[in-house]
């Protein structure tokens, strides 16, 4: 084929489009270098002595002294309570708030939390807010206003220099921008912290008619809080964390009256408060006894040996290896289960090596149960494709698979998913229990992205009580709220939905999913993209 033929008609237009796209990408790459980090301010978590002198620290001192070397752990499966806990911690803070998240939405709950941070800063609390930049599109005016407050510092992890369409950043800097900070922590005065799976937004706190995520956080007090603060300091000072003012435009000046908030935050607040759904969350704040119970030692926490596990922030640049990776630390702490392993993961992509490891455990007599999302419940179909192709091998090894339904029905106020989070349409909790003794709660998904690309954070808690709660969920609630995946005598997959009266309904294709969605997943599963999932 001659060059003249290639450039005829539509082929010529395609060639021109490709050439222009490459030229634009090259131009953007040349104009999108990151700013230097020299001169970046230095700061660290509130020193222990100062933390103990706060009201929260003084209230917690007696109970912490009574449980040396342990952490007080209180699960937060209820979405509204998880939201209220964060706001109330912000209101209780006297000195510092250190906050780290992968996603922060400017919706009802996200805006109310930003208001709480602003009000804390107005009281003189130093607020450090570290956000992964992958999901901040549209938030620049809000973040600039927060960062302009003398008591608030905002930093962005692995930021996009080009603030328009993020696709250009991926085209020009994929190897860096493909690595994200998935950590979630909310720490007040270095005395109490919330760690777990929830991001900040209505979908995670049950305040939307759309997809709702079933999730799990814990609040922790005790020495493990200091470990979280130390870890936050590492990320805050890492080579991937850029002061927001060096990345986004400065905020417009505004008239600062007493008690006022800047215009972008005010606009977001007006919009949030005009939504009828906001009333439920304001009511939750007014009626929650959480802080009072915590400071009086009345909160029914579980005291247990607890270890924080996290990735080194250098993973964000692809420089962390071996012992610096959370996956390696988990293996060291957990060891190898000998009797039971109950695993909850919304994005479960075991890969061939993971299937072999789980199969080897099952062959040694370990009972393994996995709860993940069904195709109808998942919010990332490509991840489901990475899981689906391994189902048959897992079932053949004797591993039980459950897939959460996209609609959960229940009566009264009982939470059907129990320890794994509030009733919702999509699983987002990340937890597991091993041998009925140890529990993990955090941000870590059992997929290659968490293993190799994203930074993660979580707790390993030596608590038979918490492990029993997870086992109880699998025994009593999961079979009613999830499809069990089984293998027929002919080696074909089928799904079973169990009713409260003991009857079962069989599905020979993935339930509540369209032909086109199933076809798309089948096609995606052919491609070798597990390492990106």
Question: For the segment 315-361, what is each residue's pLDDT rounded down to a tens digit?
Answer: 999 999 888 999 888 888 888 899 999 999 999 999 999 999 999 99
pLDDT at 14 over 70: no
Return d(Cα 37, Cα 506) in angstroms, integer: 59
pTM over 0.75: yes
Nearest alpha-carbon partner for 216 in 451, 499, 13, 423: 423
8 or 133: whose pLDDT is higher? 133
Chain segment 44-89, per-residue pLDDT in tens: 999 999 999 999 999 999 999 999 999 999 999 888 889 999 999 9
pLDDT for 409: 43
**Do 528 and 377 meet the contact criterion of CB atoms below 8 Å apart?**
no
Given the candidates 1.10.230.10, 3.30.56.10, 3.30.870.10, 3.20.20.70, the CATH classification of the domain at 307-532 is 3.30.870.10
Separation of first and last alpha carbons in the chain: 39
In Å, what is the CA distance from 403 to each residue of 203, 348, 372, 380, 518? 20, 11, 5, 14, 15
Residue 80: per-residue pLDDT: 86
Is the pLDDT assigned to residue 464 strictly greater than 50?
yes
For residue 190, give the DSSP letter: T
Tell me the average pLDDT across 270-281: 88
In the chain, what percentage of residues exceed pLDDT 70? 87
- Nearest of 467, 213, 476, 484 to residue 371 by alpha carbon: 484
- Position 91 scores a pLDDT of 94
Residue 420: is its pLDDT beyond 60? Answer: no
- Which positions are catalytic? 182, 184, 189, 428, 430, 435
CB of 192 within 8 A of CB of 89? Answer: yes
What is the 8-class DSSP label of residue 475? I
> Which among 359, 361, 353, 306 is positioned nearest to 337, based on CA atoms?
361
Q: How far is CA 431 from CA 180, 348, 390, 428, in A?
A: 20, 12, 20, 10
* 332 and 513 Cβ atoms separated by less than 8 Å: no
**What is the pLDDT averaged over residues 296-310?**
91
Instruction: Report residue 113's pLDDT band, with 50, 70 and 90 as the boundaries.
Output: very high
Going by pLDDT thresholds of 50, 70 and 90, the confidence category of residue 294 is confident
Q: Average pLDDT in the 223-227 region? A: 97
Report, as an integer, the average pLDDT of 149-177: 93
From the list 219, 197, 200, 216, the residue with the least C-alpha distance to 422 is 216
Q: Answer for the pair 305, 333: CB distance below 8 angstroms, yes or no.
A: no
Q: What is the mean pLDDT of residues 226-239?
A: 98
Question: Based on the number of CB atoms within 10 Å of its own CB, is 41 exposed (0-12), middle (13-18) or buried (19 or more)?
Answer: exposed
Residue 185 has pLDDT above 60, yes or no: yes
DSSP 8-state class, residue 451: I
Domain boundaries, the chain: 48-295, 307-532
Q: Is the pLDDT score of 41 beyond 90?
A: yes
Nearest Cα to 424, choosing from 276, 205, 219?
205
For 183-195, what is the mean pLDDT? 98
Average pLDDT over residues 460-476: 91
The model's confidence at residue 381, banded by pLDDT at 50, 70 and 90, is confident
Whole-number pLDDT of residue 210: 57
Percent of the chain topping pLDDT 90: 65
Looking at residue 259, what is its pLDDT?
Answer: 60
Angle at the Cα of 294 from the Cα atoms of 293 and 299, rounded to 5 degrees: 65
Average the pLDDT over each of 99-108, 241-250, 419-428 and give the range with the smallest value.
419-428
Contact of 97 with 146, CB cutoff 8 Å: no
The average confidence (pLDDT) of the chain is 87
Q: Is the pLDDT of residue 9 over 50?
A: no
Within 396-532, strands assigned E span 400-404, 426-427, 431-434, 438-442, 457-462, 482-487, 493-498, 504-507
Reported confidence tier of residue 516, pLDDT bands at 50, 70, 90: confident
Using the structure block, give the residue that is written with the tokens 């080696």.
491
Instruction: Mark out the alpha helices in 274-403 (DSSP H runs).
Output: 278-287, 290-295, 326-334, 351-363, 381-388, 391-396
Residue 18 has pLDDT above 60, yes or no: no
The three-point CA angle 327-328-329 to 5° equals 90
Alpha-carbon distances of 496 from 91, 164, 292, 319, 425, rounded to whole Å: 47, 46, 45, 45, 18
Please give the structure tokens belonging to residue 239: 């080579």
Neighbours of 250 (CB within 10 A): 11
Range ranked top by mean pLDDT from 90-104, 254-268, 316-330, 400-414: 90-104
Which range of 96-105, 212-221, 251-260, 334-343 scores highest in mean pLDDT? It is 96-105
pLDDT band at 518 (very low <50, low <70, confident <90, very high): confident
- In eight-state DSSP terms, residue 301 is P
CATH class of 48-295: alpha beta
**Residues 432-444, mean pLDDT to the nearest whole number:** 94
pLDDT given at position 418:
44
């Amino acid at each position: 084929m001659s060059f003249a033929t290639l450039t005829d008609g539509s082929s010529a237009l395609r060639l021109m489009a490709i050439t222009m796209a490459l030229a634009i990408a090259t131009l953007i790459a040349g104009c999108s270098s990151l700013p230097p980090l020299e001169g970046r301010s230095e700061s660290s978590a509130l020193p222990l002595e100062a933390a103990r002198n706060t009201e929260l620290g003084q209230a917690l001192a007696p109970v912490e002294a009574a449980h040396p070397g342990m952490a007080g752990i209180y699960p937060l499966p209820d979405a509204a309570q998880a939201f209220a806990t964060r706001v109330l911690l912000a209101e209780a803070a006297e000195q510092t708030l250190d906050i780290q998240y992968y996603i922060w939405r400017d919706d009802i709950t996200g805006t109310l939390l930003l208001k709480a941070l602003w009000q804390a800063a107005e009281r003189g609390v130093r607020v450090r807010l570290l956000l992964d930049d992958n999901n901040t599109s549209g938030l620049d005016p809000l973040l600039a206003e927060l960062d302009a407050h003398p008591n608030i510092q905002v930093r962005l992890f692995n930021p996009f220099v080009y603030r328009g369409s993020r696709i250009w950043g991926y085209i020009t800097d994929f190897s860096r921008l493909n690595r994200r900070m998935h950590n979630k922590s909310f720490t007040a005065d270095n005395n109490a912290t919330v760690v777990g799976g929830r991001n900040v937004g209505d979908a995670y706190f049950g305040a939307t008619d759309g997809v709702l995520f079933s999730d799990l956080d814990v609040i922790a007090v005790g020495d493990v809080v200091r470990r979280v603060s130390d870890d936050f300091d590492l990320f805050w000072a890492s080579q991937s964390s850029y002061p927001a003012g060096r990345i986004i435009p400065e905020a417009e000046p505004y008239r600062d009256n007493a008690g006022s908030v800047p215009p972008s935050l005010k606009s977001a607040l007006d919009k949030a408060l005009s939504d009828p759904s906001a009333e439920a969350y304001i009511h939750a704040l007014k009626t929650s006894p959480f802080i009072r119970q915590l400071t009086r030692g009345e909160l029914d926490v579980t005291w247990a040996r607890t270890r924080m596990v996290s990735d080194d922030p250098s993973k964000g640049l692809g420089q962390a290896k071996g012992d610096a990776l959370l996956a390696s630390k988990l293996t060291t702490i957990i060891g190898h289960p000998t009797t039971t392993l109950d695993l909850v993961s919304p994005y479960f992509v075991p890969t061939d090596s993971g299937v072999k490891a789980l199969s080897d455990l099952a062959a040694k007599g370990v009972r393994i149960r996995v709860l993940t999302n069904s195709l109808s419940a998942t919010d990332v179909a490509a991840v489901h494709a990475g899981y689906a192709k391994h189902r048959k091998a897992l079932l053949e090894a004797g591993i039980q698979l459950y897939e959460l339904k996209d609609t959960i029905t229940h009566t009264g106020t009982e939470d059907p998913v129990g320890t794994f989070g509030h009733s919702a349409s999509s699983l987002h909790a990340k937890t597991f229990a091993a041998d009925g003794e140890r529990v993990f709660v955090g941000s870590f998904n059992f997929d290659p992205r968490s293993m190799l690309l994203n930074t993660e954070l979580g707790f390993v808690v030596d608590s038979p009580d918490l492990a029993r709660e997870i086992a109880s969920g699998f025994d009593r609630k999961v079979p009613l709220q999830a499809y069990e995946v089984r293998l027929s005598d002919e080696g074909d997959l089928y799904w079973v939905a169990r009713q409260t009266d003991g009857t079962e309904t069989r599905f020979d294709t993935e339930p509540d999913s369209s032909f086109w969605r199933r076809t798309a997943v089948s096609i995606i599963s052919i491609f070798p993209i597990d390492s990106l999932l």
